[in-house]
Amino acid sequence: MPSNKDSNPLPASLRKGHKRFLRNDYASNEELFAHLADAQAPKVMWIGCADSRVPPERILGAEPGELFILRNVANIVPPLAADEASVGSALHFAVEQLKVNHLVVCGHSDCGGVKALSQLGKAPMDRMLASWVEYAVSVLEDNEGTTMESLTKANVIAQAERLLEYPCVLAAASSGQLSIHACYYDIRSGKVEQFNPEDGDWSHIA
Ligand SMILES: [Zn+2]
């Protein structure tokens, strides 16, 4: 890895942004950062898409320390049997160690990962992308011919349900320690909706 920062700087916008962060956010919240330096106690784990347009802290107005975050392509929770340690280890840590009370799976509009899922087997695709979105193939099979929004929402519900395959999640949910939420973020309107399994409807969270 190159080590000379002068010859390989981060983009200027990010360096300026970091200066602003130190001058404003950090300076006015020094106590918070000092507190966070030694421990974290988030109540919520957020499983979202890696897409740059879906920043959970900004959308939810959350402070550092509030959300334990895992982001991947199309906010997928692989089956337990797949042994995907990245997802499994984060889930285990959040549920067993941090004892979060909420697991949120959130999809979003215009999701490239869900578009890839919809093209699975029909269009050439990167091998690794294909093998990743393959974890959600049952969602595709059950929702053939539907809109992207419906497919994305169906994917969110399926991934949220799949969380229960993980023994730590099942145990915590069964004991009442943990609630699981399926959400959808619309980039254009800025609104987050939540699925209500009782009536099958989605409603704005705010
Ligand atoms: Zn996405």
User: What is 2-61 written as a DSSP string?
Assistant: ---TTTSPPPHHHHHHHHHHIIIIIHHTHHHHHHHTT----SEEEEEE--TT--HHHHHT
Q: What is the pLDDT of residue 7?
A: 84
Residue 168 annotated among the catalytic residues of the structure: no
For 139-193, write each residue's pLDDT tens digit. Answer: 999 998 999 999 999 999 999 999 999 999 999 999 999 999 999 999 999 999 9
Rounded mean pLDDT of 33-58?
98
Q: How far is the CA of 39 from the centre of ligand 1 (A)?
A: 30
Q: What is the pLDDT of residue 1?
A: 62
For 65-123, write each residue's pLDDT tens digit. Answer: 999 999 999 999 999 999 999 999 999 999 999 999 999 999 999 999 999 999 999 99
Whether the pLDDT of residue 3 is over 90: the answer is no
Whether the pLDDT of residue 26 is over 60: the answer is yes
Rounded to whole angstroms, the Cα distance separating 126 from 192 reads: 30
- Parse the chain into domains and list their residue ranges: 11-40, 44-204
Catalytic residue among 25, 53, 142, 204: 53
Q: What is the pLDDT of residue 174?
A: 98
Q: How far is the CA of 153 from the centre of ligand 1 (A)?
A: 12
The tokens 């898409």 sit on which residue? Answer: 49
Rounded to whole angstroms, the Cα distance separating 101 from 183 reads: 16
Could you please state the CATH topology (level 3) that the domain comprising 44-204 is classified under: Beta-carbonic Anhydrase; Chain A (3.40.1050)
Q: What is the pLDDT of residue 2?
A: 58
Whether the pLDDT of residue 5 is over 90: the answer is no
CB 105 within 8 A of CB 77: yes
Residue 201 annotated among the catalytic residues of the structure: no
Catalytic residue among 49, 106, 162, 183: 49
Rounded mean pLDDT of 198-203?
97
